[in-house]
Chain A
């Protein structure tokens, strides 16, 4: 029943677009459909998926969080510096996780408070935090890139269970948790309310500001998680790990049907979007187009994907910003 409530039956466009892409690539790409490749796609999608879960809540509320890249990089370099590594003598996963996730939490909290209390557009707040976090990450970077030696930690990415790395399972777990939050908790449901009509929610006596802060914290922490996992995946602490994660996440959400105007879409839609993007990238690799036109095809596909995705939403007098 709860499914029926929260899955908007109206907009299955993105899903169809995704399937279409998969079919297309399976037919054209020699071994796109091979298990190995699907695993590859899943592995590459895992981290963006985590990021987009947090982002979705923010977007559903009608705001935006640009600080992802910064937070990811920060968390990644922090992890690299505090687990056993090649540049210093630290060796404590606990401390590393604490500091990494802590950084995400603090900056997320900062985002939320400045946005909700000081009434600064989230776009600006998070833009600021983005650069600030990036600055911090560079400050933390030692003279050389820290190599992670902590085997136990690296095993998150390296040990395979049923062919999938721990990262994928983390992602799956987080997505499930996200879905539960989205559908069965006040934060999740009220986020939709806020996206729909904030004033009414206030009138209804809901703690709107708290909810706003909460989702930004959520997003911040999840970004940090991405950072930690990336450091495990790369085996190093990188202060640029986050680069190029923001736009895929946002576009994923948008393509999937989570409208930036808020109140629409949800985690599943966003995931669809992220998958669409990853499938395109991987698929183009598989059918082996000239690397120089990859971008062209990607761009074109995004356009058609969104058109196809919002096709059945079209109606006279509809407003799409």
Chain B
């Protein structure tokens, strides 16, 4: 840095001082722990920090990381695949042999690209949710794409659908709120719902909109739909909890909260509370903590050589995690469930990694 430029005035000095001070902060941040770590680093990618589900993942991952006293670095995509592609790209290329990376690539489009970079850097990577069905860990990057873990979206859609069906006594038109149009979970959960409709023939779709997983947008849409269909609206099927909350807010305005059943998915604690109070019918509780812990442990194990990648079956490299439908019946056991790091230590998990699995991912599902 040339500090003696011609006509170098105060403001610019200040500016650079600021930049440097930022730098110093970051230095202190960057050099915190990293004692006796067996792997260069653990990089866990989440969508956003303002989501309970994401934070749960971090908790789980952190529990494992701590148990092997390695620093856990958290990356945030802000729902931008490009960002992850670049961020992980940068980390990998900065020298990342055998470092551990878990992330949701946000969209199918980025999965392969990220995996390729990982394998080029010989890092160990596990992906969630988004995987094009024509590629698999074992055929694309056997050595570094450890596994793809997901929750069964079709199942979620199906079970919530059935719950809704029950809540409306099997008859009536419902509103469907889908997530971001080109996300696999959007399609999977919808597919599941359609399956439910087959078994519940008199439940019909009044209207079907994309609310992009968003609370505010869902509220606006449902508000409009209520205006359009009024009494005809018997229920709302929402593909995630945030949209369910938005829908609920719209219903409240009409004083319909509790009268018109709503379903969500994810199992946010506030939604659980609403299930107890009866304003929401059901949600699919996905265990973020487990996802974080299992994926981290698995990748870490492979990176350190405790687990031999070549010995893993396909079912062990592409599988769903357990999820449970929460309804008023079983809500209590989830409500006061506290997160307990001790059950998510690497040592604990290494043995029974796949007890959390609910079976392999069938290709047709990711369609």
Query: Contact residues of A with B, CB < 8 Å?
Result: 29-31, 34, 36-37, 39-41, 43-44, 77, 86, 137-138, 141, 143-145, 147, 157-158, 160, 165, 230, 233-236, 238-241, 243-244, 281-282, 285-286, 288, 291-292
Contacts and interface: CB of A to CB of B under 8 A. Distances in A.
B207 A288 contact: yes
A117 B71 CA distance: 44
A230 B216 CA distance: 8
Given A144-B269, A144-B270, A165-B253, A31 B227 contact: yes
Interface string B192-219: 0000000000000001111000111101
B146 interface: no
A39 B227 contact: yes
Given A43-B253, A243-B214, A291-B209, A234 B219 contact: yes
A245 B56 CA distance: 28
A143 B227 CA distance: 35
A238 B209 CA distance: 22
Given A158-B253, A236-B245, A241 B227 contact: no
B273 interface: yes
Contact of B52 (A34, A144, A243, A285): A144
A43 B67 CA distance: 51
Interface of B: 48-52, 55-56, 59, 178, 181, 207-210, 214-217, 219-221, 223-228, 230, 245-246, 248-249, 252-253, 268-270, 273
A37 B220 CA distance: 11
Contacts of B49: 138, 141
User: Which of B48, B55, B216, B221 has the most CB atoms of chain A within a 10 A radius of its CB?
Assistant: B216
Contacts of B246: 234
> Which 6 A-B pairs have CB atoms at the shortest separation, nearest pair first?
A37-B227, A40-B227, A141-B50, A239-B50, A144-B52, A147-B270
A271 B215 CA distance: 24
Nearest to A43: B223
Nearest to A85: B270
A244 B209 contact: no
A10 to B, nearest CB: 33
A101 B252 CA distance: 26
Contacts of B249: 157, 233-235
7 contacts: A43-B253, A143-B59, A147-B270, A243-B214, A282-B227, A285-B221, A285-B228
A157 B215 CA distance: 15
A138 B52 CA distance: 12
Contact of A233 (B55, B59, B209, B219): B219
B253 A234 contact: no
Nearest to A40: B227
A143 B55 contact: yes
A24 B217 CA distance: 24
